[in-house]
Structure 1
Amino acid sequence: MGVKIEVFRMMLYLSFPVAMFWISNQAEYFEEYIVKRKREIFPPDEDLKRKELEDFKERMRVRKEQRTLRSFAVDSEN
């Protein structure tokens, strides 16, 4: 009787992870759940938002460049 129980337990221990792996790797599940969720969290870029972000990056780059030039001017005076 003990061997049959051990075989059943071993089959249960091995079948559960294999079944979960098989279920989670179904293409339909991936498409329906993961891709839709990703699109909710990270919506596709809109042209207006992209332009605003590029303008912001350019302003920050110019500001940093001006600060760097000022620090070089101060260093060269001393």
Structure 2
Amino acid sequence: MGVKLEVFRMTIYLTFPVAMFWIANQAEWFEDYVIQRKGGELWPPEKEDQRRELEEFKERIRKQREEKLLRAAQQSP
């Protein structure tokens, strides 16, 4: 029983990773489960007002940093 069991185990050890690799590399599976999920669930489409608010926020932060650096430069001798 020892040799047959080892052959069976080796078959399982080799078949499982090869099968998973083959399944994961199917174009239809990738398109259905990865691209659609990424496009809709994980990163929903941006709205124009959200993008505008983000740009305004980034601009305010940039101005605050510039003012802080300017004040620090003026205070140092």
TM-score interval, smaller chain: 0.7 to 0.9
Where does structure 1 differ by over 6 angstroms across 4 or more consecutive aligned residues?
none
Amino acid in structure 2 at the alignment position of 1:16: F
Three-state SS of the structure 2 residue aligned to 1:44 is: coil
Quick one: percent identity of the two aligned structures?
57
Q: Which runs of 5+ in 2 are unaligned?
A: none
Q: TM-score, normalised by structure 2?
A: 0.83
Amino acid in structure 2 at the alignment position of 1:35: I
- Give the RMSD, CA atoms, in angstroms: 1.5
Q: Which runs of 5+ in 1 are unaligned?
A: none
Deviations 1:5-64 (A, max 9, x none): 322221121111100111111111111111222121111222221111111111100011
What does residue 21 of structure 1 align with? 21
CA distance in 2, matches of 1:75, 1:69: 10
Shift of 1:4: 3.2
What does residue 38 of structure 2 align with? 38
